[in-house]
Amino acid sequence: MVINSPARLFSALLVLLCVSGVRADVPFDLLAATPPGSWQRQESVSTDSDGRQVLAVIETALLREERRNGVDYVWVQTEVQPYRLTAAGGREPDGDRTVMQTLLERRVLAAGTFGGLDNLRRFGSEVIYQVGEATPTRVVGAGQIAATIASLSGANTTPVLTPLGSEAVTTTAGRFDTRRLGSQFSSKGQLLGQSLSVDVQGTVWLSPAVPFGFVKSTSTELTNGIASSTRAELVAYGTAGAVSKISGTPTQLEIPAELRGLFGGLQSWLGG
């Protein structure tokens, strides 16, 4: 995946929202067990309507804390490596590794509700991403761009979670006492002239004992009428040792000329 426009960056931000353990109406502070240097790794298997499977190994880390203009922020890094699953049960790399580092307000990950355009604006105060060995790119005001695109497209950005009680869950990473939550997300809109309809139903298991809370999830998705399913679970975690996976000096992303009218004053934030 090559992220070379604000629209693609918006899509990547939404992916990051899902894979980094950020949820709506979480019943505990997601940072309670997530000191700087902590990390968790999950494996996510998606199955399409033809039965083809793709594995994504996703590692999320809290690199450091930072204070800007009286506001507490954290740098969260998400690394995604896709694999193709073979008939023999093996895995082969299938596409470039993507690393995204995001500066977001610390309180976004604290107890309370997460979701909606206001939180999207806070989410991407600054983003640095790198695809494969390409030169990394820095985007200032990325969350505002994502919120603008979402607002113009009519897309819903807020999942709804329903408490389903407590449950002990065992994964490759160990046994955890979790909060089980039903997850529902539906959105219809237009993104740069293309219709996008998404309906996701699933369950997520969260624990305050692991970094970012995520332990396990299952879901079924309907995207523009095409069905698929996803299951993910925690395979490893730690509370120290996380390091930056970005290599090289980032360049600054400029808004493409064809989109400058769409974003208006936002282009000044990106030097466009």
145 three-state secondary structure: helix
112 three-state secondary structure: strand
Q: Provide mean pLDDT across the span 2-20.
A: 41
Q: Which residue has the higher pLDDT, 95 or 239?
A: 239
Tell me which of 26-40, 82-96, 170-184, 246-260 is least confident: 246-260
Task: Indicate if the pLDDT at residue 233 is higher than 70.
Answer: yes
- Cβ neighbours of 124 (radius 10 Å): 26
Contacts of residue 250, Cβ cutoff 8 Å, sequence gap at least 6: 128, 135, 136, 137, 138
Q: Which residue has the higher pLDDT, 253 or 233?
A: 233
Task: Indicate if the pLDDT at residue 175 is higher than 70.
Answer: yes
Q: 177 lies in a domain?
A: yes
**C-beta of residue 128 within 8 angstroms of C-beta of residue 251:** no
Task: Indicate if the pLDDT at residue 16 is higher than 50.
Answer: no
- pLDDT given for residue 123 in this prediction: 52
Q: 270 lies in a domain?
A: no
pLDDT digits (tens, 9 = 90+) for 100-121: 888 887 877 664 434 433 444 4
Task: Indicate if the pLDDT at residue 63 is higher than 80.
Answer: yes
Contacts of residue 258, Cβ cutoff 8 Å, sequence gap at least 6: none
Q: 25 lies in a domain?
A: yes
Structure tokens at 124: 């991407």
Residue with tokens 């695809």: 131
Q: 95 lies in a domain?
A: yes
Query: What CATH number is attached to the domain comprising 213?
Result: 2.40.360
Q: Which residue has the higher pLDDT, 200 or 42?
A: 42
Q: 272 lies in a domain?
A: no
8 three-state secondary structure: helix
- Cβ neighbours of 81 (radius 10 Å): 17
pTM over 0.85: no
Tell me which of 85-99, 108-122, 135-149, 166-180 is least confident: 108-122
Nearest residue to 191 (alpha-carbon basis) of 262, 85, 120, 245: 262
- pLDDT given for residue 180 in this prediction: 92
Whole-number average pLDDT of the chain: 75
Q: 171 lies in a domain?
A: yes
**C-beta of residue 100 within 8 angstroms of C-beta of residue 12:** yes
Q: 264 lies in a domain?
A: no
**C-beta of residue 16 within 8 angstroms of C-beta of residue 100:** yes
Q: What is the domain count for the chain? A: 1
Determine the structural domain holding residue 81 and report its residue range: 6-259
